[in-house]
Structure 1
Amino acid sequence: MRELLDAVADGSLSPAQAEAELRGYVPNEAGRFDAAREQRRGIPEAILAEGKSSEQVVTLTETALETTDRALLTRVSDRQYAALESALADSFPNTTIDRRTGAVLVRTPGWEGPSLEATIGLVTAGTVDEPVADEAHVVCLDAGATVDRVDDVGVAALDRTLDQVDRFREADVLIVAAGREGALPTVIAGLVDTPVIAVPVSSGYGHGGDGEAALAGMLQSCTVLSVVNVDAGFVAGAQAALIARAIDDARANGE
């Protein structure tokens, strides 16, 4: 306790950071930000922008930056992003913003992220799957893993898949996003000895549309893989990041 008070007094720790240390979370007008989630779970709290006002998104982002030196956001609309960019120009003028579709990673100059000796392969079947893959991408970048991304290799033209197999095999863990019938993760999982995390995407129409057919196909895969919920790019990225961290630890310990 005394160390926290001394750190606040000498300016090396902000009041928000001290509050996060004591409570594990920081309350604000938009809710309670779980600043201790990374220490507890290994993955930081992501700010789901969908359903929130621009003001709430800004408030939560600023709290995340104050307490953890970075903020990870998902499902950010163009309007919310414009408000966020404008607000941060005043409150955190030296931040680095990495935006990939609706996924946003914001880092202050004080952020010292990890660097993992592990590669996560990120694969999409088609262009429509890319926004979901982008969520996974920013989570993996935040975790410090190397991301090897291969887009648009759906099985409708199988040669596109087969000519990338060597890259797939070099990854330590694979995330494969696909909509429609969702066949790509099953095909890739049958060609590699790498753990595969399948992400069904809500593309398609008619019977089995909105990701239902993709989810069902992945759950019924005859090759071994893990499946997350429809459009759950963040969850897939978090799972892959945890696997990558375990691999990095094993390599560091010579295992």
Structure 2
Amino acid sequence: MDKETLRRLLTGVSAGEVPVDEALASLEDLPFKDLGMALIDNHREVRTGAPEVVYGAGKTVGQVREIVGYMLTRDANILVTRATEDMYAAVRELCPEAVYNPLGRTISVRRRLPAETDSYIAIVAAGTSDLPVVEEAAETARMLGNRVEQITDVGVAGIHRLFARLDLIRGAKAVIVVAGMEGALASVLGGLVAKPVIAVPTSVGYGANFGGLAALLSMLNSCASGVSVVNIDNGYGAACCASMINHL
């Protein structure tokens, strides 16, 4: 249930075009639906503008199938992050139009996507190894109605590659920077662009990277203004933040 659907429903009741009992039936699963192992937040899109997203990691295939099966009855857009091939196979049995991004590990069902923005989010990746996080962010941003431009493999080890793409990056309304190793790319871009930079440290790197902790601390300690940081490998969270900025 989103605000526009709710507005149409209330307008229909007010005009006498929708029976009260029919309207009540539409609202009976608000604010949430209890599936036993999960409480599906049907009110989230009304509150925040974006529907609930299913985090696949730690869930069984059966749980993901049951959650998605219920969400399909609500005619909502569906995004499952950190999804496996087995989860996708189970969801596709329920919904043949479901799409799996094996690199980003996302399952998406597009029912009523918002119109794509004229402005765009730039997602900039230091290396090819960071692409799983890039793809998670890109899938999330597109599901939220954003135009996305991806600029990859422009890390500081060959910084001339970054300079060749600066015009495209500077044209964005918000910039997501995805980098592992020492995470220096976020600081570099923070000093080059006049847009919000959302840094995503990744777990890519050798031993002293500590699974992304080194990149996280580097980004948190950035001397460049306008850089904010999300958790390690959290492409989803970065995309949600960038989408809010892009829709202002």
Smaller-chain TM-score bracket: 0.7 to 0.9
In structure 2, the gaps of 5 or more residues are 1-9
Query: 1:208 offset after TM fit, Å?
Result: 3.2
The answer (yes or no) to whether the contact 1:71–1:105 under 8 Å persists in 2 is: yes
Alignment map for 1:218-233 (pairs within 5 Å): 218-224=219-225, 225-233=227-235
Deviation (angstroms), 1:70: 1.3
Q: TM-score, normalised by structure 1?
A: 0.83
Tell me which residue corresponds to 1:104. Answer: 107
Question: CA shift at 1:136, angstroms?
Answer: 1.3
Aligned counterparts of 1:146 and 1:157: Cα–Cα separation in 2: 27
1:124-180 C-alpha deviation (Å, 9 max, x unpaired): 111221111222112211121110111111111111111111111111100010001
Deviation at 1:200, TM superposition (A): 0.3
**In 2, are the aligned partners of 1:114 and 1:143 still within 8 Å (CA)?**
no
Equivalent position amino acid for 1:18 in 2: L
Matched, 1:6 2:15: no
Residues 170-204 of structure 1 deviation map (CA, whole Å, 9 limit, x = unaligned)? 11100010001001111111111111000000111
Measured after TM superposition, the shift of residue 34 of structure 1 is 0.7
Return the alpha-carbon distance in structure 2 between the equivalents of residues 30 and 145 of structure 1: 32
> Which residue of structure 2 lines up, in the alignment, with residue 123 of structure 1?
124
Give the SS at the match of 1:83.
helix
Q: What secondary structure, in the 3-state scheme, does the structure 2 residue paired with 1:148 have?
A: strand
Aligned pairs for 1:104-253 (under 5 A) are: 104-108=107-111, 111-224=112-225, 225-246=227-248
Structure 1 residues 163, 63: closer, same or farther in 2, change over 3 A? same
Q: Is the CA contact (8 Å cut-off) linking 1:175 and 1:199 kept in structure 2? A: yes
**In structure 2, how many angstroms separate the alpha carbons of the residues matched to 1:137 and 1:100?**
13
Partner residue of 2:45 out of 38, 62, 66: 38
Mapped to 1, the partners of 2:20 and 2:101 lie a distance apart of 33
Secondary structure of the 1:116 match is coil
Aligned equivalents of 1:100, 1:243: Cα separation in 2: 28
State whether residues 121 and 173 of structure 1, in contact with CA within 8 Å, keep that contact through their aligned partners in structure 2: yes
CA distance in 1, matches of 2:203, 2:24: 42
What residue is the counterpart of 2:88 in the other structure?
A: 81
TM superposition shift of 1:8:
7.1
Amino acid of the structure 2 residue aligned with 1:41: T
Query: 1:29 Cα deviation (Å)?
Result: 4.4
Q: In the alignment, residue 238 of structure 1 is paired with which amino acid?
A: C
Q: Secondary structure at the match of 2:114?
A: coil
Instruction: Give the paired residue count.
Output: 233
Instruction: Provide the C-alpha distance between the structure 2 equivalents of 1:240 and 1:51, rounded to a whole number of angstroms.
Output: 26
SS in 1 for 2:142: helix
Residue number in structure 2 paired with 1:71: 78
Q: Which segments of structure 1 move beyond 3 Å, counting only runs of 4 or more?
A: 1-9
Partners of 2:70 and 2:131 in 1: CA distance? 29
Task: Say yes or no: does 1:19 pair with 2:28.
Answer: yes
Structure 1 pair 86–166 and aligned structure 2 pair: CA distance change class (3 A): same
The TM-score normalised by the length of structure 2 is 0.86
Partner residue, 2:7:
none
Shift of 1:7: 7.6
Q: Distance in 2 between matches of 1:7 and 1:98?
A: 40
Note the C-alpha offset of 1:62. 2.2
CA-based RMSD of the aligned residues comes to 2.3
Describe the SS at the equivalent of 2:207. Answer: coil
- Aligned equivalents of 2:57 and 2:129: distance in 1? 19
Distance in 1 between residues matched to 2:126 and 2:32, nearest whole Å: 39
CA offset at residue 96 of structure 1? 5.0
- Residue identity over aligned pairs, in percent, reads 35
